[in-house]
Amino acid sequence: MGSTFNGLAGLILLGFDLWALVNVLGSGVQGWKKGLWSLWIVGAPVIGVIVWGIAGPRWRRRPGPTR
């Protein structure tokens, strides 16, 4: 039971890491900041994803039609 849970938790963490890394590489962050974010996410996967989720660039909403 424990190894199944650990494997599932690892896969979920890997998914979040890949999501964060793709978002960093595709974001508007430039130069050394992009490299630093990538290194942070790969080097410290749990903390890196949490910090990226909190402090990373936000999605900009496209202005919708006005009424």
pTM of model > 0.85 = no
Cβ-proximal residues to 42 (8 Å cutoff; 6+ apart), any chain: 17, 21, 48
Mean pLDDT of the chain: 81
For residue 57, is pLDDT > 70?
Answer: no
Element of type H or E holding 6: helix 2-26
For residue 15, is pLDDT > 60?
Answer: yes
Percent of the chain with pLDDT over 90: 4
Q: What is residue 7's predicted lDDT score, i.e. its pLDDT?
A: 86
Q: Provide the residue ranges of all domains of the chain, joining segments of one domain with +.
A: 2-55
